[in-house]
Structure 1
């Protein structure tokens, strides 16, 4: 009978110190993600590595702040909490064991209403709201790859904001667990959501300047 060596623990696995050591054709888990010691930011979607855009532009940061602050203010006194990137969201399918988690993303903004999903490393499970602000070069990833994992995980609302087009688009999860698209919004219009009572986002203020 062969002596089968047990799978090494996270502590026994060697660190991955440079981006050159990453095999972009291989499958990675959150356990592997925790071994990354380089500065470059990566996300894992269904086991595959995706490079994130360089540091967000000034406009990107400005828009993020103009969305984050109204949400933060509206949540005062509520159980829901809002976080901005960098903030790891682990979307588990089988178990919450690090070796079984194959999607780890860093949305620009997330709202989490279940305190049990929050731990010292971020969020484990689907946030209630995910906000992605598109940057040149990553539109395909946001619109296709992330759409699929957010829908599968049960994210209630997925907001996509384009700074270049000055548009706001939202998917809302229906009773069957499928995203339903809403009207494309732009300057002069407002955004509300049932998840945050009393919240109102004025797009004229978001996209000004």
Structure 2
């Protein structure tokens, strides 16, 4: 019996070919080969900033390095964008049943079962987003509720222009702000016990 011929599905190499109001899955996302970075939140397409500003990069490097050094020899791992984090409704959902994939600036994953060659499938334990003018609304709204809904235990939001870090902690399924911390402060994670960040170091290069 002859093997049925399978038509190869086309790759999408131009973002203008996508319908902005359409609903897309992670399976669709994997077919896109254009250079623009995008995220999907509940099937809705969101463009990301073309390239982070210098201060955004510097803050990310310092925070990522501090967290990496703290996690050496521990089970948890830290990852920086571009790194795909998929949020399926159920852990067994296939790519075409998954409608959310985002790229946090930094995320920490403590459950190795959530990691695969494609990235992370399920909620990281801690997520850091460094705000930029193009993404601030998404980070403070859609992503805030997304991370809360899926059980990200801590959500750190960095305001580069103000030299401020705000920490949200998940308590009884809802985020509670632990406060806004400024350049002179030290911050501690309740998820990563023992992690202490000096914000003077984080914001050192920010004028």
Whether 2:133 is the aligned partner of 1:106: answer no
Say yes or no: does 1:33 pair with 2:29: yes
State the partner residue of 1:162. 159
Aligned residue in 1 for 2:125: 128
Q: Provide the residue aligned with 2:70 in structure 1.
A: 74
| Separation in structure 2 between the aligned mates of residue 103 and residue 198 of structure 1, nearest angstrom | 32
Which string of whole-angstrom CA distances, capped at 9 and with x for unpartnered residues, describes residues 132-178 of structure 1? 0001121110000001111111100000001111110011111x211
User: 3-state SS of the aligned residue for 2:56?
Assistant: helix
Q: TM-score, normalised by structure 2?
A: 0.93
After the TM superposition, which of the residue ranges 140-149 and 194-203 deviates more from structure 2? Answer: 194-203
In structure 2, what is the Cα distance between the partners aligned to 1:86 and 1:201? Answer: 23
Structure 2 gaps, min length 5: 1-5
CA distance in 2, matches of 1:182, 1:78: 25
Hey, which bits of structure 1, 4+ residues long, moved more than 2 A? none
TM-score normalised over the length of structure 1:
0.92
Listed as ranges, the matches of 1:1-209 within 5 Å are: 12-94=8-90, 95-174=92-171, 176-209=172-205
Deviations 1:96-154 (A, max 9, x none): 31011111000000000000000000000000000000011211100000011111111
- Distance, in Å, in 2 between the alignment partners of 1:170 and 1:197 is 15
Paired with 2:100 and 2:9, the residues of 1 have a C-alpha distance of 20
The answer to whether the 8 A contact 2:38-2:45 is kept is: yes
Please give the alpha-carbon distance, in whole angstroms, between the structure 2 residues aligned to 1:80 and 1:195.
Answer: 11
Q: Which runs of 5 or more structure 1 residues have no equivalent in the other structure?
A: 1-8
Q: Give the number of equivalent residue pairs.
A: 199
